[in-house]
Amino acid sequence: MSRTFTLAQIAKWIDGVVRGDAATRIDGVAGIREAGPGQITWLSDDRYAADLRVSRAGAVVVPSGYGETPMPAVLVADPERAMVEVLGRFAPPVPRPEPGVHPTAILGEEVVLGREVRIGPHVVVGRGAAIGDRTVLHAGVFVGDQTVLGQDCEIWPQVVIRERCRLGDRVVVHPNTTIGSDGFGYVFAGGRHVKIPQIGTVEIESDVEIGANCSVDRGKFGATRIGAGTKIDNQVQVAHNVRIGPGCIVVAQCGIAGSARLGTGVVLGGKVGVRDHVVLHDGAQAAACACISKDVPAGSTVIGIPAVEHRQFLRDRTSLRRVPGLLEQLEALARRVDQLEAAADD
């Protein structure tokens, strides 16, 4: 069933001020270009001002003090933050298993279940595992022996969390991610690659979110750790004994090699590669596709292959753009030298 709200109601949610008809009714949210008369959109960057002038949206959320708009507006301090609330209000209910344990689920001996857990069809929970209050395990999840999940976690379909791993409270893991797989460790002996036993585990602190199709390897010994509040995008590889600090952002298709360390608030753009044992100190940032082969100081931004400090990268690129012209000058000078030498011979 669709729900509609007035602009006055929406403004109250987001501590905004209505400009125009506060009785305008809104039944959904869409982008500036796609929004129709019954939908609300938002503008947080002047690059889209031209789109707003021709938008069919019924209303718009804009920064406080923003100029006239062709439709009623809600003025707020931070449109992006405000839209988090608006989207949440309009979001349809998320399908979840019914409270309790589905008849097709398999629970091992000595499993401890908290209050109001939801365990969906074909879930397997290993011996001695513990599932915290209100945690949801969607269809097909595997939880290994002695693994501990905190309260209010949401583990989406087909996630594998192997034995002896620990997840804090409010951890979200999206479909087909594997936590606690063996780290990639071999020694070459006797003419073949011999596997090194990976006897460690994985520890994930509270409020972490991990995207779909990620791999977080267990430690060779000790633990691979992900700090509180860190958010990891889809298709990310976290190798054995990596330490990721709190509040980090790791974007899609990053690969973090064994024993690398990320400090607090580190940001890795898409497809960043981090070499083993490298340290990215607090607040470091890496642009997309950077290949990081040495430590990055706190607060620095690096870019390129191999990664260098971004201002150095810009200087290098500027110099490279001059190379074709310099080559032409060099060729001209070489021709002139040849001419002078020929004249001297005469």
List the catalytic residues.
Answer: 240
- C-alpha closest to that of 295 among 245, 253, 249, 260: 260
Structural tokens at position 182:
């063996």
Distances (CA, A) of 109 to 129, 141, 291: 9, 17, 46
Q: Buried b vs exposed e over 206-219: b needs ≥16 C-beta within 10 Å?
A: bbbebbbebbbbbb
Task: Cis check for the bond before 306: say yes or no (omega within 30 of 0).
Answer: yes
Structural tokens at position 138:
């969607």
Cα dihedral across residues 267, 271, 272, 276: positive or negative: positive
First to last CA, the chain: 97
CA distance linking residue 200 with residue 171, whole number of Å: 21
Please report the beta strands in 146-226, taking only residues with DSSP state E, as ranges in sequence order. 148-149, 154-155, 160-161, 166-167, 172-173, 178-181, 186-189, 192-195, 201-204, 209-210, 215-217, 223-226
- CB-count burial class (<10 Å; 0-12, 13-18, 19+) for 94: exposed
Half-sphere exposure of 31 (CA within 13 A, CB side): 5
CA distance linking residue 103 with residue 139, whole number of Å: 12
Bridge-based pairing of strands 148-149 and 130-131 is parallel
Rounded to 5 degrees, φ, ψ at 337 are: -60, -45
Which secondary structure element, helix H or strand E, spans residue 87, and what is its range? helix 79-90
Rounded to 5 degrees, φ, ψ at 7 are: -60, -35
The CA-based dihedral angle spanning residues 261, 266, 267, 271, taken in that order and rounded to the nearest 10 degrees: -10
